[in-house]
Amino acid sequence: MLIEEIALKYWVDHYYGYGSWDARIWFVGYEEDGGDAPEEVAGKLNYFHNLHSPKADDALCDIRELYRHVALGVDGPKAGLFTNLYDYRFGSNAVQHGVWKNLILFLHGYRNEKLPDMLSYQKNLFALQSTPNEALIKLYPLPAPHSHAWYYNWLDMPQFDFLKSRMLYQEHIYQHRMHTILSNIKAYKPEVVLMYGMDNINRLKKSVQEFFHGTNFKPVKATKRQIPQHHRVDFNGTTMLITTQIPALRHNRIESGFDWEEFGRRVKSGKGL
């Protein structure tokens, strides 16, 4: 399956993530997951274009439906159990997503709710459009490993010169993407916007301060194995948090992780400010 120009352009221009803008908690990741296999990328882009293009809106989509149309590119003893990404994350033999697990912990800590069965919540409720508890939003839309790898420079598409490097791509789309996200924060007024895994903290803070005049971020120091270092600002009923930390262990080492349920509690109570 090849990546088609029209689907690529539509995805870059209009895709913002999964769930609903009406959700009270927004999790904003640095970029879309995946990107190792062209077939996976093409599956996402083609489905999104075919479903949404008549509407031409900046959309959040149904993660379960999109995942049904994306081939799975994993190896290992359990690979035969899955035919697509939906089976892998939401089917009867679904595998727990490490980042999603900690986002679910944050959500329940913030709401001071009893923890559910984590895998069951992922399969049945996480980022569900019909019950908008949380939205999964992406600052940068193209599926790409969170590393120095950049697989789009091989595309033979002269009109997409900005894809020759990750830096050119990010510079090309940042202003429009961030303006849309901030405009939707103003319109929908979510309770919490957690931006995680970010490596452009100062630029993000400047964008927020230029859009919401008079806002001042407060840096909050990390507490080892409890809460990550982050920057917090409260405005118009919304709490925004920006952190470089990804809600997952590094190399599966427990000492590299944080208690994301406790982080949610601290955010709700305002402790640590």
Could you report the per-residue pLDDT of 29-51, keeping only the tens digit for each? 999 988 888 888 999 999 999 88
Domains and CATH numbers, the chain: 5-35+96-269 (3.40.470)
Predicted pLDDT of residue 29: 97
Residues of the chain with pLDDT under 70: 1, 53-58, 74-79, 146-147, 251-252, 255-256, 271-273
The helix-helix angle for 201-211 and 166-188 (nearest 10°) equals: 40
**239 φ, ψ (degrees, to nearest 5):** -105, 120
Would you say the C-alpha torsion 246, 248, 253, 256 has a positive or negative sign?
A: positive
108's enclosing H/E stretch is: helix 98-111
CB half-sphere exposure, 21, CA atoms < 13 A: 16
**pLDDT one-digit tens code per residue, 199-246:** 999 999 999 999 999 999 999 999 998 999 999 999 999 999 999 999
Contacts of 225 (CB under 8 A, 6+ apart): 254, 255, 257, 258, 259
Predicted pLDDT of residue 271: 60
Predicted pLDDT of residue 80: 75
Q: Report d(CA 161, CA 48) in Å as an integer.
A: 23
Please name which of 184, 201, 198, 271 lies closest in space to residue 236, comparing C-alpha atoms.
Answer: 184
Predicted pLDDT of residue 76: 64
